[in-house]
Amino acid sequence: MSLFGLKFGRKKLKEEERQLQANNRDFNLQFEYANNSIKTSKYNFFTFLPLNLFEQFQRIANAYFLFLLILQLIPQISSLAWFTTVVPLVLVLAVSGVKDAIDDFNRHKSDKHVNNRPVQVLINGMLKDEKWMNVQVGDIIKLENNNFVTADLLLLSSSEPHSLTYIETAELDGETNLKVKQALTVTAELGEDLQKLTEFNGEVKCEAPNNKLDKFTGTLTLRGEKYALDNEKMLLRGCTIRNTEWCFGLVIYAGPDTKLMQNSGKTTFKRTSIDRLMNVLVLVIFAFLALMCLILAIGNGIWEYDKGYYFQVYLPWAEGVNSASYSGFLMFWSYVIILNTVVPISLYVSVEIIRLGNSFYIDWDRKMYYPLNDTPAQARTTTLNEELGQIKYIFSDKTGTLTQNIMCFNKCSINGKSYGDVYDMSGQRIEINENTEKVDFSYNQLADPKFAFYDHSLVEAVKLRDVPTHRFFRLLSLCHTVMPEEKKEGNLVYQAQSPDEGALVTAARNFGFVFRARTPETITVVEMGETKIYKLLAILDFNNVRKRMSVIVRSPEGDLTLYCKGADTILYELLHSSCDSLKEETTEHLNEFAGEGLRTLVVAYKNLDEDYFQDWIRRHHEASTALEGREDRLSELYEEIEKDLMLLGATAIEDKLQDGVPQTIETLAKANIKIWVLTGDKQETAMNIGYSCNLLNDDMEDVFIIEGSTPDDVLNELRNARKKMKPDSFLDSDEINIQFEKSSKKPKLIPDEQANGVYGLVITGHSLAYALEGNLELELVRTACMCKVVICCRVTPLQKAQVVELVKKYKKAVTLAIGDGANDVSMIKTAHIGVGISGQEGMQAVLSSDFSFAQFRYLQRLLLVHGRWSYIRMCKFLKYFFYKNFAFTLVHFWYGFFSGFSAQTVYDEWFITLYNLVYTSLPVLGMSLFDQDVDDRWSMLFPQLYVPGQQNLYFNKIVFVKCMMQGIYSSLILFFIPYGAMYNTMRSDGKAIADYQSFALMAQTCLLIVVSVQIGLDTSYWTVVNQFFIWGSLSVYFAITFTMYSDGMYLIFTASFPFIGTARNTLSQPNVWLAIFLSITLCVLPVVGFRFLKAQLKPTPSDKVLLKIKEAKKRPPPPSPKRRLRRTSTRRSGYAFSHQHGFGALIMSGRNMRPKSPFATTGTFSPNSDKHKHKGL
């Protein structure tokens, strides 16, 4: 792709199958595969002007003004100078164009940042640093630990045994646990030998680019042999290499063809609901304008026929006009030009300036700046601000958005005693914060310095060699699938396949049970400074049905023991009856842990009889080598041996939420915003986070779980849920049922339905796939939208976008999607507003977003403060703008009846030109940029103030009609009061002042003062700027008027300034000012009276809240209490364990083992250095 993104040549055919050769760019170039460059920008240097002008003239108003300009160039009908339209039109197009150019320039910068990332590419036998954008299909590239994967690669070889490569796929599916990929044996032999890699000429045939993240089919042909390729050998763009020194990969798909980008969805042109409403209103105004022009044209025809025909000597018809009807026809177009200000072109300039200004407020907001990684909030799009004040549905990712991707060992229960809480001298529990004293692990040279624990009693129990406590930590150091690595003495690194396991093994390490090394047959643990080697006899692997894992080990003393950890609901069924009393105590602790949102596991053990075990292991070997029913036979054997377990206790791990997440969710819920969590993570983990961040709670009537495996099952589950929430929704008389029985192809909007309580809904990915099809989508949207919270788990990036699209299709609501990973891009693009969180998972989400910041908690400020202010300001602006222009323009209409419908203007031409651009532009901009009904603190304290925006109460068709009626009323006053005051009037010196020019000056002066008083009434928050703009605009009006109507200007530009001396003659008369005062009073008094009576007799919910705030302002508000999450008394499992099935078998096979470390059994350790600290721990 060229610098400017231009692409010439024949149209590319749709790809059916991909064929490529390694290290052969010439061969691959013939297929014209996309290179690795991505492009999110819209324009380039050459296409900007034509494309931007094309987009701008798609606005009805802009096209209309171009049409007006053409009319004004026709002498027969033009009653105004051409510059009255050209100057504003050019200004509008220029301002909008500059703004669009700035937006696109920022997109170019973002694209450049990603495209210019460095990567090592094998070229001519050498590794060369290349930019991502220059990587092509068929290239071999080298990636190192913690690198982002550049493109979709076929893994060739790696530094790990058997060419295994560990990857984190958080950007693709939201999961933080490590996954393992393995290269083909034939390519693993290539290692890091550059000569062999250069000579590698394998040919790959595979499927065309698609968006299926979990499937890949292809073949590799090498030296005449064919090898099957599947997804287990692919590294996808968006993944991150972890715990792997280096790996080499062959580029299969690049840039837009990668599965990540295929899931990103199309970039759509987003427009706000106010934009769409304005287009409708502009059409209504056009119709109104046409009606007025038609009335005046008919009036002109009648007048010319009846009166004008008879005194043509005094007032001759224009050249070419030979009949009254033709005169009327020409007058129609003349009045179109004169009355065009009813749709002022400056409206669009002002809208763009207001949006730009409010965008800068977001960029400059220090309260949305995150100092830890120097990230300010950013409005990446400047056209959607007011939509932030109307959000009804938020669709959020979980991993990295609500959570930090960090697991911490927080609490535990051992032998009936709970550890982890801190108590003061009086026995009262105190809240842990940064000032709380940490446990000192300095006595343990092997401790991880980053591990923090606060309950000193647990360390004392370990030091006192309490048997259950030692057994508990021994279990944690043995029962797992973690891989240790020690390249040099003192640097112990854990390769945790799941972050939960990493946290548990690290906890055991700090408390004196250091997992140190493993082989396929042994596990080495340093127990309280003493090295012990346990024989690993079996791993009973984890899966989603068993929800537990066990290991069977033989201690150095010869004891056979089974250690097991898993979900409490499962393990409690397997316990020995002697554990009943301990089980009750542990259950109480589990309730507390789960109530605090912690992820819990129960741990248990069992001493095994030697003879029984020998018989069991023989049967286990037979089952594991059976050709049929292997899984079922192994499962039965696992069930058999995992019985009569002895309970040891429970662990509680905190999946650390981002700061302020529970409080933010609670505040947004008070603002009547519904939150849906869409995550690729598993159900237990998603629900656990749901409870910990206050989305789900035990006060809910019910939490429905939709997990049907057929369309009928899903339909029944959804209907049963809806029946419980609102039984009446199944009656034939139900409004929605009646609406959808009438067949229509166009999707109908579903009104909001109220459930009979507070409910939550959890739906799994495979059930969601059925629910998004055909008839089920209506059932899904009805049921889900009745719930306060919806959690969709195990969803693909495309499903996220489909869920957002579903709500947009059936609900008249504004949606917002927020995420931090590439798996969130499609929903961010689909929603009305897309928000990217910068930080945890790369920049992909930010690049596609409309707004970005570093922490989820800033969302409440973005919506409740900036969004609400932007919406209120825009609505006030539109109401005032339409009012002042109706009042201004309709005076011409009334004047037509007194001027023979001759298309003569009431005002001076210069006043018409400057009215919207100079005299009234700054006051309304001042209000639209600085006004606020309440400040940011009260906006956050009273989220209910946000609700009117969701219901679109501040500007809609009814409000527009009211503005129109007020404008018509004001125009009547502004015409007839000056007309009456001037009619047959004499000056104090006896001379007449009832001339056209004096009347024009009086009318325009009345108008300007009235609209200035009106904006004063509309302003809630007075600043120096507002005062300066209003008084300054009036001063400028009088200064310009006296200058333009002076003798000097007339002498210099006689034709352009005919109103000589009018200002000083007219404005010196007291009766003129009395008439101006009367006009102002009659225009403003009804508005003030109506607003007062409405607030007193029929206050809106917002009025009531504002009254509360006024009362509260008289006394300082109490500091908001810091609340702990409420503990629950209702039993529910807090189990969540992000583990991958099949990892136990991999360990027992030894395929992922390195050669034995020389430090594995002897010597001592020094604490870990930050350099080697595993990111997930």
Catalytic residues: 397
What is the distance between the alpha carbons of residues 1133 and 594, in angstroms, rounded to a whole number? Answer: 7
Angle at 131 between CA 127 and CA 136, to 5 degrees: 80
Query: Minimal CA–CA distance to 868: which of 944, 808, 776?
Result: 944
Q: What distances in angstroms separate CA 334 from CA 76, 287, 1057, one per listed residue?
A: 9, 16, 22
For the CA atoms of the chain, what is the radius of gyration?
37
Pair 494, 501: CB distance under 8 Å: no
Q: What distances in angstroms separate CA 265 from CA 261, 262, 657, 747, one per listed residue?
A: 8, 7, 29, 22
What is the distance between the alpha carbons of residues 1072 and 1074, in angstroms, rounded to a whole number? Answer: 5
Distance from chain centroid for Cα 40: 17
Within 10 A of 809 (CB to CB), how many other CB atoms are there?
14
DSSP string, 67-79: HHHHHHT-TTT--
Please identify which residue in the block is written with the tokens 């125009």: 971
Strand partners for 205: 19, 219
What is the distance between the alpha carbons of residues 44 and 1025, in angstroms, rounded to a whole number? Answer: 38
Q: What is the 3-state secondary structure (H, E, C) of 925-976?
A: HHHHHHCCCCCHHHHHHCHHHHHHHHCCCCCCHHHHHHHHHHHHHHHHHHHH
Query: Minimal CA–CA distance to 823: which of 962, 679, 1011, 929?
Result: 679
Tokens representing 769?
Answer: 């796939």
- Tallying the residues shown for the chain, one arrives at 1177
Tokens representing 501?
Answer: 């396991």
Query: Minimal CA–CA distance to 843: which of 104, 103, 113, 108?
Result: 113
Tokens representing 538?
Answer: 């079996």
Strand partners for 518: 523
3-state secondary structure of 391: strand
What is the distance between the alpha carbons of residues 419 and 858, in angstroms, rounded to a whole number? Answer: 34
Query: Minimal CA–CA distance to 348: which of 46, 616, 57, 121?
Result: 57
Tokens representing 57?
Answer: 């003239």
Query: Minimal CA–CA distance to 1148: which of 541, 585, 566?
Result: 541
Q: What distances in angstroms separate CA 207 from CA 202, 396, 455, one per listed residue?
A: 17, 32, 56
DSSP string, 819-865: ESSGGGHHHHHHSSEEEEE-BTTBSHHHHH-SEEES-TTHHHHIIII
Burial of 208 (0-12, 13-18, 19+ CB in 10 A): exposed
Helix (H) or strand (E) holding 248: strand 246-253
Pair 849, 302: CB distance under 8 Å: no
What is the distance between the alpha carbons of residues 33 and 13, in angstroms, rounded to a whole number? Answer: 11
Sign of CA dihedral 437, 442, 443, 448: positive
Query: Minimal CA–CA distance to 169: which of 159, 179, 161?
Result: 179
3-state secondary structure of 622: helix
What is the distance between the alpha carbons of residues 156 and 765, in angstroms, rounded to a whole number? Answer: 32
